[in-house]
Amino acid sequence: MKRLSTLLIAAVVPVAFAAPSLAQEGKVLGVVDNGRTEIVFKAADTSDIDMQKLHTWSSFATEHPDIARTLGYHPSLINDDGWVKKHPELAEFFAAHPDIREAMEEDPGNYVAPPPREEESRAER
C-alpha cells in the first residue's frame, strides 16, 4: 500500500504542476472557418516573456502613445539610433533600460504591435 501511494504521488505531482501550463497553451480563443480552411487562434505562451520588462515598456508606451504607435507600424526603428535620438524620451528610456531595448530588438512582437486599422476599431465598438 505504501509503495502504491508513493507511485501515485510520483505520477500525480508533476501532472498537477504542468496542468495550468497545458491548459493555457491549449486554450482556444476563437475559430475562423473560411470555406475549406479553418484557423484556430490559441492563447500565446508567455512563459518566455519577462513580465517586468513588459510592464515597464507598457508604462512608457502609455505615456508616449505616438512613439509606441510608430514602433508598432515600424518595429525596425528600434535599431535606428538616428530615429531614437530624435525622440529624447525614448533615448532616455533605452539608456535606463538597455535590457528592454535588447529584448525588443530580438523579438519586437512581444512589445509592440500595429494598432488596429480605423475600420477594425469601428467594428469592435
Give 9-64 pLDDT, tens digit per residue: 444 444 444 444 444 456 888 888 888 888 888 876 677 788 899 999 999 999 99
Q: What is the Cα–Cα distance from 28 to 117, expressed in whole angstroms? A: 24
pTM: 0.59
Is residue 107 classed as helix, strand or coil in its secondary structure?
A: coil
Cell of 56: 515597464
For position 14, what pLDDT does the model report? 44
Q: Which positions ≥6 away from 111 have C-beta within 8 Å?
A: 54, 57, 100, 103, 104
Of residues 33 and 124, the one with the higher pLDDT is: 33
Query: Looking at the predicted structure, is the pLDDT value of residue 122 above 80?
Result: no
Q: What is the Cα–Cα distance from 85 to 22, expressed in whole angstroms? A: 43
